[in-house]
Chain A
Amino acid sequence: MLKGENITKDFGGLRVLGDVSFEVKEGSIFGLIGPNGAGKTTVFNIISGLLKPTAGRVIFNGKDITKRPPYEITSYGISRTFQNIRVFKEMTLLENVLVGMHRLFSYSAFSMFFDLPIKRSEEKALREKAFEILSIVRLTDKADLKAESLSYGEQRKLELARALATEPKLLLIDEPAAGMNPAETEELMEEIVHINGKGYTICLIEHDMKVVMGICSHIAVLNFGELIAEGSPDEIKANPEVIEAYLGKEEQSA
């Protein structure tokens, strides 16, 4: 479904990604892991169009989306969440989700101004839909609260809901388990599997190995901007290079 071909990204003299290639199969949960600074979020930024690669291509369902702007890439069916949570803090939960659904709206400014039936009916229908999406992440009781009043974990769920609202085919989720306790992490894992079950392909960046090994069907490992391993969870677990990449970091901090 999604292919990254020989992606390289340089920032000035610094090479952040070097010749990275990977493939995400439709319907799977794909894990992207690696030590901090390995370039994982950069990959997401390139896929979603926020960054242009220095070299290489991104192909989505046969279409080259490498140089397309983010809003266009979203229309092709890719959506994402952010590592440092970027919900719209001053808007309510419902409004956040409605923003995600904005492509589904079609009424004109004229209809808005004269409060025409089409505007009212669209708003009503899509608000109901937004409510349903909030129910997937179990946040309906806080629908009219401002996003900033949510806890960290709840904001993560909101971001997920908002990304789902764009009706993507592929969902990029960036470190969803960060800052969560074990119980929340369990719940998160269930939710991701649940969403995947509904037909959304998922690409996941995550540090929590329990999550990665638990739900991913295929994993790619980055280290210092290079792809050092790719395979099933068992293969990755046993891969000596991967172990060294992670262990090496542990030894440094010991």
Chain B
Amino acid sequence: MSELITSFWQTYNTLFYTTFVHGMLALSIYITLSCGQLSLGNAAFMGIGAYTATLLTMKAGAPFGVSLIAGGFLPAVVALIIGIPTLRLSGVYLAMATLGFGEVVRVVILNMEITGGSLGLNGVPLKTELWHLILVMGILIYFFIKLRNSRFGRILEAINEDEVAASVMGIRATYYKVWAFAIGAFIAGVAGGLNAHFTFFISPREYGFEPAVDILTFAVLGGTRTLWGPLAGSTILTILPELFRFLGPYRLALNGIILVLVVLYLPNGIINRDTFTNLRRFFKKEENA
């Protein structure tokens, strides 16, 4: 029995870890979405974090925890800088601007010597362990739960619902949006650092346009109204291709089909505010039957 578990783990531990990382990334975009901002820059922030953390552990011999935190801070600082001019834009323009920014970051990484250019960095030490991932995820979930019933959560939601009405209530929308953006960047950066230290190898390609779009789809699929939505979305979209490995390249088409179906028929994503109440009611009915 324990042999079964060991071999299962050997085959699938990377998938497990990746699911955690994707969950964190989904949460990183969730916080910006929760105040109505669509940022497609989180893959870039992840990249900045990954490279920062990796260079610190590999070249400066820094302890893992320090590298991770630095890997969170640098993207957050960058987010603060570019957020202020960029977050004056709205909707699609903001999305494109953050996407463009992400491209710039990718290209900069591509051209710096210290990052190894297009060849990336090889031989990243294996430092991430399961408990790291669980701990960080736990902290994140705790943070979001605390956020929901606090004044900050209400402010973000007010901005999300009606930014004009919120501003007239005295809320300085840009300030909070930039902070949400920076926190999202921090989370993405830490996720990047954790990810780098179990994949041995990082390259600019992992932090470009396609990953940015993937992160968005995690959140949208799962539902952007609660923190559980993005987690559900990221889990499903990460595990599904593995379950359907036998389909070869077509297995990604399955993700695409699911995405289109969810967008058409579950516009608020799989999990929305009422999902839990509805589930409870559903189970209550079964009990009474």
Contact = CB atoms under 8 A, between A and B. Distances in A.
B168 interface: yes
B147 interface: yes
B168 A102 contact: no
A95 B155 CA distance: 10
B283 interface: no
Contacts of B158: 88, 91, 99
B171 A112 contact: no
B167 A69 contact: yes
A102 B170 contact: yes
Interface in B224-266: 225
B275 to A, nearest CB: 14
B151 A86 contact: no
A98 B157 CA distance: 12
A91 B167 contact: no
B143 interface: yes
B273 interface: yes
A192 to B, nearest CB: 19
A51 B161 CA distance: 20
A113 B147 CA distance: 8
Contact of A90 (B143, B150, B161, B167): B161
A91 B169 contact: no
Given A90-B273, A102-B151, A107-B151, A79 B161 contact: no
B155 A99 contact: yes
Interface residues of B, number: 25
A79 B168 contact: yes
Which of B155, B162, B169, B171 lies at the interface centre, i.e. has the most chain A CB atoms within 10 A of its CB? B169
A231 interface: no
Interface stretch (A18-26, A55-63, A70-78, A244-252): A70-78
Contacts of A95: 154, 157
A153 B168 CA distance: 21
A223 interface: no
A144 to B, nearest CB: 13
B164 A86 contact: yes
Contact of B170 (A98, A109, A123, A166): A166
A82 B164 CA distance: 10
Interface residues of A, number: 32
B281 interface: no
B165 A112 contact: no
Contacts of A225: none
B146 interface: yes
B9 interface: no
B143 A113 contact: yes
A162 interface: yes
A89 interface: yes
Interface in A143-197: 162, 166
B240 to A, nearest CB: 30
B152 interface: yes
Contacts of B225: 90
B168 A70 contact: yes
A63 B226 CA distance: 43
B40 to A, nearest CB: 25
Contacts of B172: 69, 71
B173 interface: yes
B170 A75 contact: yes
Given A71-B171, A71-B172, A162-B169, A86 B162 contact: yes
Given A71-B173, A90-B273, A115-B146, A48 B168 contact: yes
A171 to B, nearest CB: 12
A112 B152 contact: yes
Contacts of A69: 167, 172
A48 B167 CA distance: 10
Interface string A31-49: 0000000000000000010
Interface of B: 143, 146-147, 149-152, 154-155, 157-158, 161-162, 164-173, 225, 273
10 contacts: A69-B167, A70-B167, A70-B168, A74-B167, A86-B165, A90-B161, A90-B225, A99-B171, A102-B170, A123-B150
